[in-house]
Amino acid sequence: MSPLLFLLYFFNVMAAISILFFRKKQVGSTLAWLLVFAFVPWLGFLLYFFLGSTRKLRLFRRRFRPNPRLAEYGPSPGENARALLSGQFNLSSQGREGCRDLMLLNLQGAGAVYTQGNSARLLVDAEKKYESLFRDIEEAQETIHVLYFIFKTRDECGRKLLDLLVKKARQGVKVRVIYDTLGCFKTHKADFDPLLGAGGMVYGYLPSPLRTVLQVNYRMHRKMVIIDGKVAYTGGINIGDDYLGKDRRITPWRDTSVRLTGPCVQQVQRQFIRDWVFLDSQAARPYVDKIDSSQSLEQCMKEENTGQVGVQIVSSGPDSLYPYTKESYLGMITRARRYLYIQTPYFIPDDALLTALRCASRAGVDVRLMIPGVADKAYAYHVTMWHAGELLRWGIPVYRYPGFLHAKTFVMDDMVASIGSTNLDIRSFDLDYELNALVYDRDFALECRKVFLQDQEKSRRLTREEYQSRPLPDKVKAGLLRLVAPLL
């Protein structure tokens, strides 16, 4: 045996031991990786290093922590928890009285500070989102922070946004942009030259080609814009003409975003600062003009209450100790008493989520799932359909939207709605950086429920007969591809 093969075999065994005893993931994922090590012993370690392990990323990110003074601005999770437990927040209005335990779950896990005095506006398509976003950017006076998984600079809407950012940068507004280098593989760094020339700052995740290769399986999947510390946007909508339904292969396109104002904007700003500091700290040529985290958060704190809405911003990623967005979804599923309506483009859950959905349905909760009727990824479609069959066996309705449904929304009991970037799949929970806004407000939840029911009227309910009569090749693909999902 050559020294190289011996070394690979040694690392293969060590990786197997690490997975078996130290990996905090579902059993299915652990067993799947052990099978890879058994059948491809020379390549198993390399595959796991590039595609499965998150330990190296956690160690890497610890070297580049944001300014520790971030904790000085706004309430700490501990203070916020004490305020919730002591009754300092008035939760008796707008349907929040039954959500205290959900708030504490997100707070004590993800550190998601709960705020009141916010406003939230639902945006149910890209046209409405872009119109509102561009108007707010036009009025920016101090800062514009932009982070998108996909930023198609050569599409019409991408060019319009880029031109607008260039204009504001020339006016002296601090413009910072983060985009995912693989999510935007058709976007070139040179496309941002006009913005850089105007004084704007741009980072791709990840800016270093070597580090991109080493972390190729982790994606910056968040979508957020923060303007002057006053307005924040998040949800499922990226920047591209296909989100406007202009891609003939995937149309119509249905998506959801939310516009937030009030104290919760500080929490979105805080996450952007963390992401920016991480990228800035590892860049080969970091910007001289550093982000002033204290000034950015003080800017948010000066804003007065803009409404009566309660909001939590829940973030997670491959560097998180636990999948906090998944825990948030589980919290909603297990606390639902009357109904739970879910929209997701990809339904690739683990056993915990499937069990929670089954138990909720058996307990009398009206659980409904809506998935796309038009697929954008064949792999995800087949695995989604396999898991949809599980729900059908338990009597849970599954609806197929007549187009591509990209919204990632949960609405529960006229009390709370979650809108964000997190798909209901294993990749989003373990390997992608995600951000969700949980909105605690009866009127907002009722609006989300109304939108779901309107989409349901357009959709086609999947029957067990239709599901079982799928072509044999589709059944085979679904059965085989579902085995790959836990590897991610």
Residue 253 lies in a domain: yes
Same domain, 129 and 36: no
Same domain, 237 and 383: no
Same domain, 122 and 160: yes
Residue 126 lies in a domain: yes
Same domain, 301 and 338: no
> Is the Cβ–Cβ distance between 57 and 206 less than 8 Å?
no
Residue 483 lies in a domain: yes
Residue 337 lies in a domain: yes
- What are the angstrom distances between the C-alpha of 138 and each of 143, 151, 167, 212, 272? 11, 19, 9, 34, 20
CA-CA distance, 376 to 108, in Å (whole number)? 36
Q: What is the pLDDT of residue 41?
A: 60
Q: What is the pLDDT of residue 42?
A: 56
- β-pair partners for 372: 401
The verdict on whether omega for the bond into residue 206 sits within 30 degrees of 0, i.e. cis, is yes
Angle of CA points 285, 290, 294, to nearest 5°: 155
Same domain, 337 and 454: yes
Same domain, 346 and 454: yes
Residue 122 lies in a domain: yes
Read off the tokens for 28.
Answer: 């299915």
Same domain, 277 and 138: yes
Q: What is the pLDDT of residue 303?
A: 64
pTM (2 decimals)?
Answer: 0.86
Each residue's pLDDT, cut to its tens digit, for the chain (488 residues) gives: 566 555 555 555 555 555 544 454 554 555 555 555 555 565 555 555 555 555 545 545 544 454 544 555 567 777 888 888 877 888 867 667 789 999 999 999 999 999 999 999 999 999 999 999 999 999 999 999 999 999 999 999 999 999 999 999 999 999 999 999 888 778 888 999 999 999 999 999 865 555 555 566 688 999 999 999 999 999 999 999 999 999 888 889 999 999 999 999 999 999 999 999 888 887 778 888 888 766 666 666 666 788 999 999 999 988 888 899 999 999 999 999 999 999 999 999 988 999 999 999 999 999 999 999 998 888 888 889 999 999 999 999 999 999 999 999 999 999 999 999 999 998 899 889 999 999 999 999 999 999 999 999 999 999 999 988 888 877 777 777 676 665 45
CA-CA distance, 125 to 137, in Å (whole number)? 18
Same domain, 191 and 242: yes
CATH number of the structural domain spanning residue 91? 3.30.870.10
Same domain, 238 and 135: yes
Among the candidates 251, 284, 308, a domain finishes at 308
Q: What is the pLDDT of residue 279?
A: 87
Same domain, 282 and 333: no
Residue 142 lies in a domain: yes
Buried b (16+ CB within 10 A) or exposed e, 116-152: bbbbbbbbbbbeebbebbeebbeebeebbbbbbbbbb
Same domain, 154 and 250: yes
Domain of residue 8, residue span: 3-53
Residue 111 lies in a domain: no
Among the candidates 308, 340, 362, a domain finishes at 308
Residue 107 lies in a domain: no
Report, as residue numbers or ranges, the catalytic residues: 221, 223, 228, 406, 408, 413
Among the candidates 255, 283, 308, a domain finishes at 308
Number of structural domains found in the chain? 3
Element (H, E) at 79: helix 77-86
Same domain, 159 and 264: yes
Spatial CA neighbour of 362 closest among 326, 333, 398: 333
